[in-house]
């Protein structure tokens, strides 16, 4: 009888031992997301609870504990993997949608088990792997930021045009060098592992020449905050395939989404009060050129039905000094945040800087309603296309003007969120040790996980780039007004051929 009880106690204790071990290892698996831990959990869960399975169980648990120690060491040793809050905060200031899976991606572990990566397939990955296998290999990774004739405008003494050197955790033994380059000589092209193409180069881009001189294995990053209507040179006629390995644009389906602004959680303090309003609608614009739609003419049509004060080069009330803009706009209840291009996800500073951050309700037009809903604060804007005609729109604005309670509902978001702006040059100019290291990790991650790559999903770049914008040749009415350019206006636009904001 005692023997039976002893045997049952042993069985129960082993069962509890297994449960405790599985629980501990499972928790650590979730925390560290390590494939070795998954394997050890499976071994422990299948270990036989018998005298013959005791050693197997003990070995599995010991191995699991070693894997846990290994996971702990990984997070403590490297900089971006398991990044500390200061690094995360610095990165999140620039990249609004950075990925923890990229930060925690362990390049060394993957490369150890693979055969040699050809130089022609990826210079970046090839160099990292060679340094891992040969300590004497001279590993220098060069990121060239091509800015053509815009270098002076972009750099502005903030960043040197000489090589800036640092190291990244893709392989800390490799030296990373980055600089801005206006003239891509053959020597620079041949020595560059990553070509970072900055925004708004326009006719100075000369993409066909770059494609012809591109060395094998060089990775290309497209960085553009402008609409494809402004930068058609990125997809010239005759371009086939997709030359870009990674994209950073305003489009949400890009590898790295780079909006003009976003909202962040308000952590403390009371939301700012709504400024006292004495005027109805304002519009500021200094781009009077004909765009993809008749923006200026549409504003003039609005003025025939409702009070709209216009400022800037295109307005009747003169140009606003920078220091007076905010003070002036805060007096208005509404602001016409009309984009100059009708392109998907293309939302510039207009609803952000001139409206939401000033305590003004933006009246928006440019992209689709669902894009505004995704990117702007909830219930914070008025979408022009919601109204079938001019009188319906005018009546709605007047009704809000007279109903203070309804008007104030457009500012409910301010109790939870605050506006955060990202500068166009922030990623390429500021904190290269953080931003460029993240970029390298993202490129390596895409190499090993092509299923997550925008390039793989978008084999025809030209169709994707041009397809983001509405066709300006098609008819479209806004509040009953035809907003597409006439043939005469199209001809004038082609003659001017000048891109303005």
Q: Tell me the backbone φ, ψ of residue 279, rounded to 5 degrees.
A: -135, 165
CA distance 20 to 57: 12
Bridging pattern class, strands 164-166 and 175-181: antiparallel
CB 265 within 8 A of CB 203: no
From 93, 177, 226, 342, the catalytic residue: 226
Q: What is the 3-state secondary structure (H, E, C) of 183-237?
A: CCCHHHHHHCCEEEECCCCHHHCCHHHHHHHCCCCCEEEEEECCCCCCCHHHCCC
Residue 291, both tokens = 């765009």
Q: Is 385 a catalytic residue?
A: no
Report the candidate in 86, 87, 44 with the shortest Cα–Cα distance to residue 65.
44
How distant, in Å, are the alpha carbons of 123, 209, 239, 371 from that of 472?
41, 29, 22, 20
CB 181 within 8 A of CB 145: yes
CA distance 21 to 10: 16
Within 10 Å of residue 485's Cβ, how many Cβ atoms? Answer: 19
Report the candidate in 134, 108, 129 with the shortest Cα–Cα distance to residue 119.
129
CA distance 228 to 238: 16
Residue 177: which H helix or E strand, with range? strand 175-181
Residue 390, both tokens = 């001019």
Report the candidate in 456, 465, 96, 449 with the shortest Cα–Cα distance to residue 256.
96
Residue 63, both tokens = 């191995």
Residue 196, both tokens = 């970072």
Q: Counting Cβ atoms within 10 Å, is residue 7 exposed (0-12), middle (13-18) or buried (19+)?
A: exposed
Residue 336, both tokens = 């016409």
CB 271 within 8 A of CB 325: no
Q: Tell me the backbone φ, ψ of residue 335, rounded to 5 degrees.
A: -135, 135
Q: Counting Cβ atoms within 10 Å, is residue 420 exposed (0-12), middle (13-18) or buried (19+)?
A: middle
CA distance 371 to 379: 13
CA distance 151 to 370: 36
* Active-site residue list: 226
């Amino acid at each position: 009888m005692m023997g039976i009880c002893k045997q049952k106690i042993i069985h129960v204790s082993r069962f509890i031992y297994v449960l405790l071990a599985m629980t501990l290892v499972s928790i650590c698996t979730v925390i560290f997301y390590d494939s070795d831990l998954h394997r050890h959990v499976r071994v422990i869960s299948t270990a036989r609870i018998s005298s013959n399975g005791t050693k197997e169980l003990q070995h599995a648990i010991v191995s699991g504990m070693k894997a846990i120690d290994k996971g702990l060491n990984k997070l403590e040793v490297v900089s971006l993997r398991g990044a500390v809050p200061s690094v995360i905060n610095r990165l999140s200031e620039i990249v609004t949608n950075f990925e923890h899976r990229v930060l925690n991606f362990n390049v060394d572990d993957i490369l150890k088990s693979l055969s040699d990566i050809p130089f022609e397939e990826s210079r970046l990955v090839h160099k990292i792997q060679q340094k891992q296998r040969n300590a004497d290999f001279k590993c220098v990774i060069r990121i060239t930021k091509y800015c053509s004739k815009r270098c002076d405008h972009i750099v502005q003494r903030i960043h040197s045009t000489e090589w800036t050197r640092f190291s990244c955790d893709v392989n800390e033994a490799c030296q990373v060098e980055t600089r801005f380059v206006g003239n891509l000589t053959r020597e620079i092209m041949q020595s560059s592992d990553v070509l970072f193409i900055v925004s708004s180069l326009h006719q100075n881009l000369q993409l066909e020449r770059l494609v012809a001189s591109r060395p094998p294995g060089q990775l290309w990053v497209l960085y553009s905050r402008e609409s494809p209507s402004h930068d058609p040179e990125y997809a010239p006629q005759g371009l086939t395939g997709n030359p870009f390995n990674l994209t950073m644009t305003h489009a949400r389906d890009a590898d790295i989404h780079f909006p003009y602004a976003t909202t962040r959680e308000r952590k403390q303090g009371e939301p700012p009060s709504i400024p006292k309003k004495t005027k109805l609608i304002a519009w500021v614009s200094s781009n009077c050129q004909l765009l993809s739609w008749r923006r200026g003419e549409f504003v003039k049509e609005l003025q025939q039905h409702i009070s709209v004060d216009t400022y800037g080069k295109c307005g009747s009330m003169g140009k606003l000094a920078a220091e007076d803009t905010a003070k002036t706009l805060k007096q208005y209840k509404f602001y016409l945040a009309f984009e100059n291009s009708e392109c998907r996800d293309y939302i510039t500073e207009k609803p952000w800087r001139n409206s939401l951050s000033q305590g003004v309700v933006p009246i928006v037009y440019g992209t689709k309603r669902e894009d505004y809903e995704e990117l702007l604060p909830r219930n914070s804007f008025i979408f022009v296309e919601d109204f079938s005609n001019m009188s319906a729109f005018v009546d709605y604005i007047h009704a809000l003007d007279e109903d203070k309670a309804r008007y104030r509902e457009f500012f409910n978001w301010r109790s939870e969120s605050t506006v955060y702006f990202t500068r166009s040059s922030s990623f390429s100019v500021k904190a290269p040790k953080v931003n460029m290291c993240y970029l390298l990790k993202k490129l390596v991650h895409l190499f090993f996980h092509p299923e997550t790559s925008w390039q793989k999903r978008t084999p025809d770049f030209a169709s994707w780039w041009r397809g983001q914008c509405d066709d300006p040749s098609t008819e479209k009415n806004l509040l009953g007004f035809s907003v597409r350019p006439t043939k005469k206006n199209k001809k004038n636009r082609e003659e001017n051929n000048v891109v303005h904001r």
